[in-house]
Structure 1
């Protein structure tokens, strides 16, 4: 065997071994964030999959987004559901318990899944649960994302060790500052988003979009491996490792132009001494139908 052939054989063997090692590392990592309960035996849909993303703070679902992925068209529609959405449940009589964000505190991620299924009439295939430490770690792990502050922000909550002080037009980048943007609703002395919590949702959507774009610019699988530390510690899902690897690979085909954000329609209303977001069920039905009807027709 000449030197050229010998080198080629060694190279191919090393390459295959490296791929195997990387696959094993990724599989073990994904297995560490996959929960044994939930839809463990769920078969991957051929046309559309719905994933609920739940951001948790103080035992409440502070951020609720439903990502509906049309796998044939490589198109993703993300619905934001306000945390103050009115969602009364049997056996829960206090006003604060009638907000959708309270469903997590009593029933965990499965409770939020049921609530969103009831509201949207969509079947949710999977959920991904994270807390703000995950956001901080992931944002810093990808080198930060630049976001312009839309309002003067001056808020202090010593009990929660939360201190937010930004000037309008200031650009922030670090994970710690991005979390503050995600959490800010109004100032201690008054003044917040003109459209209330819907303004906060727009900020959440902007940050998610920027994060997705930055992660997708590189190798998605490699980025997952690079971020495995923070994801392993702060993220939980009921997808199996094989399902996560499948969707990570599929995500390479989704362009940022095919990711669309929506906020469920409705309006704020004061009831029982608290401010609620009351969904317009007819408009929501029309909104969901407009997005899913092409897939339904194809089926």
Structure 2
């Protein structure tokens, strides 16, 4: 197995943006080997100078025989005016047409034309201009995690996988735990135990990166700053000017997880001529990006579905339908020791728009507002005996 996740993506981006003026000299050394990338025309700066978009590239450069495709691609955006940002995962199998090379997976853009072509293809795909990138290799991941002292993370399921040919061994238990660099690498590489494999893997990767953001912002990180700077200096390449990094340092330090929407580019896995692609629709992406910019994306709201009606498999069926509608279902389970006559949509956030959309899908459901945060989900759906789905 040669498909390794090689990047501590958002951690790196936010680290670079939050080190501050004391790191200026180190940041100057992160410039790309291709000097022309430092002077790309930046439409986004002219259109909205208060918004920064960065493409994060995770590249395998450990083997001379490897084509060095970008195994992970993420877009990080932050708007100073709204004080909101997003992390957008671009599935590596996304089907695109590259001039002179025909139909390709988007992760082929980097080996064909380097960071410049990768930025161009992603910009065209999402309809947003991207002129900055950050690139890191595989080894940097473990070292950066260890340099910050590890990360607290809720591992979603038991993870057990061995690929002796690829020297890949993953053994993690479900639940909250402290992950060092090696364990964190196992977490973000794991995919074979998920129903949707890569799509669920990128979701876990984003959750890990948000957990890392919390760690980076802790006061204890100041003592680790010298080692962090040395690690970043060794493994990072970017065309973000140091002055711009310093400018955004103040904003990055104030960012909370509640200010960041995480999402995956919408699409469907398909086999075309025997090749696995992730197929997207340009009109769907246009609406998706508009909702993402407005902060009205269903995927940003975490939903759990609990079976309170006693019908076996009901919660799983409802969860699957909601996923197909673009909702982010983070948990499926049962209500123990109680049964419900009426389906309840328990709202624990201010996003009443999503709750109303769910009510349209779930006939006869009632919305209950509960801001006590007894669950980490934003919305809990408890299926009652009157459960019925629209359509």
* Structure with higher strand content: 2
- Quick check: 1:55–1:130 contact (8 Å CA) kept in 2? yes
The 1:74–1:160 alpha-carbon spacing in structure 2 relative to 1, beyond 3 Å, is: same
For the residues of structure 2 that align with 1:91 and 1:125, how far apart are their CA atoms?
A: 22
The 1:282–1:231 alpha-carbon spacing in structure 2 relative to 1, beyond 3 Å, is: same
The answer as to 2:184 corresponding to 1:178 is yes
- Return 5+ residue gaps in structure 1 as ranges: 1-21, 187-191, 295-299
Q: Pick from 147, 154, 171: which aligns with 1:148?
A: 154
1:119-163, Cα deviation, whole Å (9 max, x unpaired): 011001311111222221111111101223333433334454322
1:44-103, Cα deviation, whole Å (9 max, x unpaired): 55332211111122511111111121111221111111111111323335xxx7111111
1:26-37 alignment, distance < 5 Å? 26-35=23-32, 36-37=35-36
- Quick check: 1:40–1:240 contact (8 Å CA) kept in 2? no
The answer as to 2:49 corresponding to 1:56 is no
Q: CA deviation at 1:181?
A: 1.4
- Return 5+ residue gaps in structure 2 as ranges: 1-18, 61-65, 296-391
The 1:72–1:23 alpha-carbon spacing in structure 2 relative to 1, beyond 3 Å, is: closer
For the residues of structure 1 that align with 2:136 and 2:246, how far apart are their CA atoms?
A: 19
Aligned length in residues: 265
Aligned equivalent of 2:76: 67
For the residues of structure 1 that align with 2:21 and 2:173, how far apart are their CA atoms?
A: 46
- Coordinate RMSD, CA, aligned: 2.6
The 1:223–1:289 alpha-carbon spacing in structure 2 relative to 1, beyond 3 Å, is: farther
Aligned with 2:211: secondary structure? helix
Aligned equivalent of 1:123: 129
For the residues of structure 1 that align with 2:249 and 2:213, how far apart are their CA atoms?
A: 12
Aligned with 1:52: secondary structure? strand
What TM-score, normalized by structure 1, do the two folds share? 0.79
Tell me whether 234-243 or 82-91 shows the greater mean CA deviation. 82-91
- Quick check: 1:40–1:239 contact (8 Å CA) kept in 2? no
Aligned equivalent of 2:293: 292
Aligned with 1:37: secondary structure? helix
1:98-109 alignment, distance < 5 Å? 98-109=104-115
Aligned equivalent of 2:257: 256
Aligned with 1:88: secondary structure? strand
